[in-house]
Homo-oligomer: A and B are copies of this chain.
Amino acid sequence: MIADKMKDLMANSSAIRAMFEEGKKMAEQYGAENVYDFSLGNPNVAPPEAVKEAIVEIAQTMDPIQLHGYMNNAGFESVRAAIAASLNKRFGTAFSENNILMTVGAAGGLNVILKTLVNPGDEVITFAPYFGEYANYVNNVNGVLVEAMTDRVTFQPDLDVLAKVITPRTRALIINNPNNPTGVVYPEETIEKLAALLEEKQRQLGTDIYLIADEPYRELVYDGAEVPYLTKYYKNTIVGYSYSKSLSLPGQRIGYLVIPDEAADGELIQQAASVANRVLGFVNAPSLQQLVVARCLGESTDVSYYDRNRKLLYKTLTDLGFSCIKPEGAFYLFVKSPVADEKEFCAHAKKYHLLLVPGSSFGGPGYVRLAYCVAYETIQRSIPAFEQLAKDYFGK
């Protein structure tokens, strides 16, 4: 017998992961080149060469006791200091190592900060559609996830909706910019209005409402879009970051939290988050990966590769009659399902070996998500399949 919460999770288990596993099976059955797997956000672009060089050099030259041993639960001081300096240079912030806590990916970081801040029954708001795991992370600490529907055309935050769902129990708002699953980027103007609303609500309610900025896609932007650094707009901001997408290292589990001194109880949160990192079982972010990212701070995966994919897939789908907002960030297309039940649309697409994820997995029914972090050739090969699919629904 498994725990009750696990029974619920199994019943509603990840459609993304299910598609990923199915895609692997289909690849074995039909040949990988005949399967068009747009399901999992698994980066197709290799990490920059500097990553390999860093791994080898660190392994060969560093004292193995230092390299492989325990360190402070928050991570190596030198790594945290280097990341702080890098952020300060890029964004004009004033962080020190004390503001940086190394985590097991962004997923680890989110669990750490939620454990640190959320009491049972506390509300955590997210704009919808959203990365479905937020619901599970909030549930881990017996919080309540509250969805704030975004604008139905632009997928930008609807601040009227947000204002209505903030209550005295609101502990935090999770914001994901650039956005998974929609690919939109919230511009500075939106952020300023959002910050003003949160400040107003904090005053009205006499509470602290933390803005948790989950931003693994920060560097994946196109068409000159800019992603504001949220600590500069709102004091009670905690940033969660990961190198999974910007350095193509999702399997390596490495990211960090930024906890500014200016946040309410900032120093206490820093200490508590370090303890949470330990008691949740992470203990510390993997030591080798910490040291590698510290050496690769100026590096980036080839974002232009994703841009080329974005352009081709967006043009292909919209030319065929599918409806989709043009994304400026991340590597997802959020496409309107031609039928109300998008799961039916996904099942039909699977017959053409097209693997898409139903939007209801993201609190966005009626849509499907396509991850274009695939080989460019995969997109090219998928075009006839999309043409067939379009024909079935739009009859041309």
Contacts and interface: CB of A to CB of B under 8 A. Distances in A.
A32 B213 CA distance: 41
Main secondary structure of the interface of A (DSSP, over half): helix
Interface residues of A, number: 80
A208 B118 contact: no
B70 A250 contact: yes
Contacts of A56: 55-56, 59-60
Interface stretch (A37-45, A162-170, A320-328, A335-343): A37-45
A251 B67 contact: yes
A396 interface: no
This chain: copies in complex: 2
A31 to B, nearest CB: 18
Contacts of A264: 1
Contacts of A272: 2-3, 6, 9-10
Contacts of A304: none
B251 A119 contact: no
Interface string A106-141: 011111100111110000000000000100110011
Contacts of A43: 65, 69
Nearest to A108: B281
A72 interface: yes
Given A282-B108, A287-B252, A64 B46 contact: yes
Interface in A267-318: 268-269, 271-272, 275-276, 278-289
A16 to B, nearest CB: 10
Interface in A9-52: 9-10, 13-14, 17, 20-21, 40, 42-44, 46-47, 51-52
Contact of A288 (B104, B252, B269): B252
A27 to B, nearest CB: 13
A141 B279 CA distance: 12
B52 A65 contact: no
A146 B377 CA distance: 58
B119 A3 contact: yes
B55 A265 contact: no
Contacts of A288: 55, 251-252, 288-289
B70 A278 contact: no
Nearest to A254: B286
A71 interface: yes
Contacts of A269: 2
A150 to B, nearest CB: 24
9 contacts: A3-B118, A6-B116, A9-B275, A10-B272, A43-B69, A55-B288, A56-B56, A104-B286, A252-B286
